């Protein structure tokens, strides 16, 4: 309550278009809800297809106009300024993130906010460090390539890491010289809009960043707009596939997608047990299990299986559920009622299909969308909880005998986002890491993200990589310039 009052005057709830805060053209709004209390935090303006059109046109005008004249160093300086402002307001932003999303404030402060600031700084530094080549040609020509911004980027982000997903999308696009229309998730629009205020304060020219909150239909309008050159999406595989299918409607847009996962986490029998337990608990329960890369299929070698199962169940009950704004809380609510119900449905399926429920298994309390940390053992590959993305605090433990067997079973998934291996044996870890068809493999660690390391998936986990050099290349086109020279120019 105190927090709600303290924030009330500060919530930004309008659309940011051309550096102006405006209402939706339809007058429609939507509610954003505190998932810990089920109370409405505030009403937010609901962007319509007409608003998307206005925002994309503003982004186009900025791209064709003032923004193209900014040098890379000038763009970098604006991004540094934004990073400074985010650093200055990190306490407030962490609270806002915790309020709207339900994540523990201690996680928002320790994980989300530092990552966000680092991503803006990293791409600020990158802006003037991408360049083309000079290419020898057979003839009297001087030939070179330039890396040029793709144009207007339409970016659609999810609710699990609202500020971080905004940074992963905005920072490389702006460093590359693109302009942006960004649609935050309907569950968590508030922190993105607050960053919108900081973007204006930092001095970005009008139209360079436009933020249009709304539901899926708002995102769908953005994804097919003819003036959008590039679409970047993070969210469900279902919507990702739709965006990919629609990328050729009204023109042809470049697409990067970061989608679902069912990541295997492989514990070999030589593993340090304490490390294996800590790694697998963090790899699954972090962020209430709402991580695309969550290590949700924990494969344990048979010799240590029984002990691992026992300790996992004990350890999961040690999590402290409660008010996410309390610094002692280690597990908050799921983001909304739909996600909570989806998770509870999978828990019922797990029981029905014969997995052994060791801990948790129910909603926690009757207010707020909390789910008990849940551990299933004796899970087999064909069970729904071993195949489908649950996106919640539900660990499935599976038994294996040999390394070749576990590699095959781990790869037997429509997804290929991440994986983990815990072992003291370097040879084995490398063999497994190189055999898995996933975008990331963590050895003796999990969920280690940094701004410099590419992130993305094989198979139905996505297209392309974000962060690192790949992240900025997503927003650049290569142009070849061939200049005829006289015959007496040296080749």
Catalytic residues: 258
Per CB under 6 A, the list member of 16, 44, 108, 185 interacting with ligand NAI is 185
Binding mask 252-291 for ligand NAI (x = CB under 6 A): ------xxx-------------------------------
Query: Based on CB atoms, which residue is closest to ligand NAI, 158 or 332?
Result: 158
* CA-based nearest residue to 210, from 188, 224, 187, 228: 228
In whole angstroms, how close is the CB of 239 to ligand NAI at the nearest point? 4
Q: Is 223 in the site for ligand NAI (CB under 6 A)?
A: yes
Query: Based on CB atoms, which residue is closest to ligand NAI, 232 or 476?
Result: 232
Site for ligand NAI in 294-353 (CB under 6 A): 339, 342
Q: Is 467 in the site for ligand NAI (CB under 6 A)?
A: no
In whole angstroms, how close is the CB of 82 to ligand NAI at the nearest point? 22
In whole angstroms, how close is the CB of 327 to ligand NAI at the nearest point? 26
Query: Based on CB atoms, which residue is closest to ligand NAI, 59 or 157?
Result: 157
Transcribe 203-228 into DSSP letters. Answer: TPPTTSEEE----HHHHHHHHT-TT-
* CA-based nearest residue to 127, from 173, 66, 59: 173
In whole angstroms, how close is the CB of 478 to ligand NAI at the nearest point? 28
In whole angstroms, how close is the CB of 378 to ligand NAI at the nearest point? 24
Partners of 396 in the β-ladder: 297, 376
Q: What is the CA radius of gyration of the chain?
A: 24
Per CB under 6 A, the list member of 57, 191, 234, 247 interacting with ligand NAI is 234
Residue 483 is encoded by which pair of tokens?
């200049």
* Residue 171 near residue 199, CB atoms below 8 Å: no
Q: Is 220 in the site for ligand NAI (CB under 6 A)?
A: yes
Q: Is 163 in the site for ligand NAI (CB under 6 A)?
A: no
d(CA 17, CA 312): 49
Per CB under 6 A, the list member of 28, 215, 351, 428 interacting with ligand NAI is 215
Query: Based on CB atoms, which residue is closest to ligand NAI, 150 or 183?
Result: 183
In whole angstroms, how close is the CB of 13 to ligand NAI at the nearest point? 16
Q: What is the DSSP letter of 331?
A: B
* Residue 11 near residue 192, CB atoms below 8 Å: no
Query: Based on CB atoms, which residue is closest to ligand NAI, 156 or 208?
Result: 156
Binding mask 424-443 for ligand NAI (x = CB under 6 A): --------------------
In whole angstroms, how close is the CB of 226 to ligand NAI at the nearest point? 16
d(CA 211, CA 193): 7
* Residue 326 near residue 99, CB atoms below 8 Å: no
Stretch touching ligand NAI by CB under 6 A, among 21-29, 203-211, 229-237, 393-401: 229-237
Q: Is 235 in the site for ligand NAI (CB under 6 A)?
A: yes
In whole angstroms, how close is the CB of 185 to ligand NAI at the nearest point? 4
Residue 180 is encoded by which pair of tokens?
């942006």
CA 195 to chain centre: 17
Query: Based on CB atoms, which residue is closest to ligand NAI, 209 or 476?
Result: 209
Stretch touching ligand NAI by CB under 6 A, among 238-246, 310-318, 395-403, 472-480: 238-246
Q: Is 117 in the site for ligand NAI (CB under 6 A)?
A: no
d(CA 259, CA 328): 31
Q: Is 212 in the site for ligand NAI (CB under 6 A)?
A: no
Residue nearest to ligand NAI (CB): 219
Transcribe 386-445 into DSSP letters. Answer: HHS---SSEEEEEEE--HHHHHHHHH-SSEESEEEEE-S-HHHHHHHHHHS-SSEEEES-
d(CA 210, CA 16): 5
* CA distance between the termini of the chain: 73
Query: Based on CB atoms, which residue is closest to ligand NAI, 342 or 387?
Result: 342
Query: Based on CB atoms, which residue is closest to ligand NAI, 81 or 183?
Result: 183
CA 265 to chain centre: 20
Kindly tell me the burial class for residue 473, based on how many C-beta atoms sit within 10 Å of its own C-beta (0-12, 13-18, 19 or more).
Answer: middle
Residue count (the chain): 491
Query: Based on CB atoms, which residue is closest to ligand NAI, 277 or 294?
Result: 294
Q: Is 219 in the site for ligand NAI (CB under 6 A)?
A: yes
Place of tokens 């994540």: 103
Q: How many residues at the interface with ligand NAI, by CB under 6 A?
A: 26
Per CB under 6 A, the list member of 15, 79, 119, 156 interacting with ligand NAI is 156
In whole angstroms, how close is the CB of 328 to ligand NAI at the nearest point? 27
* Residue 251 near residue 281, CB atoms below 8 Å: no
* CA-based nearest residue to 350, from 392, 393, 385, 310: 385
Kindly tell me the burial class for residue 380, based on how many C-beta atoms sit within 10 Å of its own C-beta (0-12, 13-18, 19 or more).
Answer: middle
Residues that bind ligand NAI (CB under 6 A): 156-158, 160, 183, 185-186, 215-216, 219-220, 223, 234-236, 239, 242-243, 258-260, 292, 339, 342, 389, 391
């Amino acid at each position: 309550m105190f927090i709600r009052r303290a924030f009330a005057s500060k919530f930004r709830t309008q659309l940011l278009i051309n550096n102006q805060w405006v209402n939706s053209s339809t007058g429609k709004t939507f509610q954003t809800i505190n998932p810990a209390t089920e109370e409405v935090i505030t009403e937010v303006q609901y962007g319509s297809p007409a608003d998307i059109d206005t925002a994309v046109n503003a982004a186009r005008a900025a791209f064709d106009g003032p923004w193209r004249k900014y040098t890379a160093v000038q763009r970098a300086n604006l991004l540094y300024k934004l990073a400074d402002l985010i650093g200055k307001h990190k306490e407030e932003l962490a609270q806002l993130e915790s309020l709207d999303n339900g994540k523990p404030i201690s996680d928002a402060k320790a994980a989300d906010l530092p990552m966000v600031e680092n991503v803006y700084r990293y791409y600020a530094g990158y802006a003037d460090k991408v360049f083309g080549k000079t290419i020898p040609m057979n003839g009297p020509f001087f030939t070179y390539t330039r890396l040029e911004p793709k144009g207007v980027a339409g970016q659609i982000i999810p609710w699990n890491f609202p500020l971080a997903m905004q940074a992963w999308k905005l920072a490389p696009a702006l460093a590359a010289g693109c302009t942006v229309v960004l649609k935050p998730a309907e569950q968590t629009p508030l922190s993105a809009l607050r960053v919108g205020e900081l973007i204006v304060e930092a001095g970005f020219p009008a139209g360079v960043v436009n933020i249009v909150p709304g539901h899926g239909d708002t995102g769908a309008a953005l994804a097919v707009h003819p003036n959008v050159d590039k679409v970047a999406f993070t969210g469900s595989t279902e919507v990702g596939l739709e965006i990919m299918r629609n990328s050729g409607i009204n023109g042809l847009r470049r697409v990067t997608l970061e989608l679902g996962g069912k990541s295997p986490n492989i514990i070999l029998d030589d593993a340090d047990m304490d490390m294996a337990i800590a790694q697998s608990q963090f790899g699954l329960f972090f962020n209430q299990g709402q991580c695309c890369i969550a290590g949700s299929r924990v494969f344990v070698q048979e010799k240590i299986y029984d002990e691992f199962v026992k300790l996992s169940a004990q350890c999961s009950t040690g999590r402290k559920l409660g008010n996410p704004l309390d610094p002692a809380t280690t597990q908050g609510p799921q983001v909304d009622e739909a996600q909570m119900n989806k998770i509870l449905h999978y828990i019922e399926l797990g029981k029905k299909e014969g997995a052994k429920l060791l801990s948790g298994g129910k909603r926690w309390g009757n207010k707020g969308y909390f789910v008990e940390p849940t551990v299933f053992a004796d899970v087999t590959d064909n069970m729904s909880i071993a195949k489908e993305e649950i996106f919640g605090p539900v660990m499935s433990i599976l038994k294996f005998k040999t390394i070749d067997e576990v590699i095959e079973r781990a790869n037997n998934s429509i997804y290929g986002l991440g994986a983990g291996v815990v072992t003291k044996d370097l040879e084995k870890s490398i063999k497994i890491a190189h055999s898995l068809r996933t975008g990331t493999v963590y050895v003796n660690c999990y969920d280690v993200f940094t701004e410099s390391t590419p992130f993305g998936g094989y198979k139905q986990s996505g297209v392309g990589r974000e962060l690192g050099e790949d992240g900025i290349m997503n927003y650049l086109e290569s142009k070849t310039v061939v200049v005829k020279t006289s015959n007496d120019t040296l080749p």
